[in-house]
Amino acid sequence: EEAMKKSFCALMGLLLALWACAPAFSRHSLDQVEPNISFQALLQDPDQYRNRTVMFGGDIIQTWTETNETWVEVLQKPLDWQNRPQDADVSYGRFFVQFSGLQDPAIYAPGRKITVIGEVQGKRVDKIKDMDYTFPVISSKENHLWRPEAMGGSMFHFGIGLGTVIR
């Protein structure tokens, strides 16, 4: 019985570790992404990449709804190995994500991190303050809203042994 408890605990620990490392996107969506399309190239000429599948992410600036769709303005950030937007003071610009139907603006809130896989729809000219700005438009196929990280660290910690953590 003791061996069975240990086996069960080991199995549960393994499942938890695998769940914590689960990818944010389906293999099908990731396989459709054209990784050679940089954000800088897209920003230069969004119409050239119309109907191509890309993956970009960043910080949500604002979200609003129009007839049967939701628009999200994103400040582009480089993605890390998990495809999560990095907390870097680096950005090559902004883009719009277009969703069909309603995405609640309280959930797609300013400051949240988002990564989107979608199809380039071209561009939309809008304003940043008083300046005209050409935003690439990406129609979302799949997206991931990232949970805020507590104290700048990962949400998942794994350790073996005894110790003390002081923050």
Digit-coded pLDDT (tens) for 23-61: 789 999 999 999 999 999 999 999 999 999 999 999 999
Q: How far apart are CA 109 and CA 140, in angstroms?
A: 17
Q: Please, which residues have CB within 8 angstroms of residue 120's CB and are 6 or more apart in sequence?
A: 42, 46, 49, 50, 51, 52, 53, 54, 136, 137, 138, 139
Paired tokens of 64: 């609003």
Q: Kindly state the average pLDDT of the residues 117-130.
A: 95
Paired tokens of 9: 């605990």
Q: Kindly state the average pLDDT of the residues 121-135.
A: 94
Amino acid at 107: I
26-35, 65-74, 149-158: lowest mean pLDDT where? Answer: 149-158
- In the structure, what pLDDT confidence band is assigned to residue 22 with cuts at 50, 70 and 90? low
Amino acid at 31: D
- Quick one: what percent of the chain has pLDDT higher than 70? 76
pTM given for the model = 0.77
The per-residue pLDDT for 19 is: 45
With residue 44 as reference, give the H or E element that holds it.
helix 39-44
- In the structure, what pLDDT confidence band is assigned to residue 10 with cuts at 50, 70 and 90? low
- Does residue 86 carry a pLDDT above 90? yes
The per-residue pLDDT for 18 is: 44
Q: Kindly state the average pLDDT of the residues 112-141.
A: 96
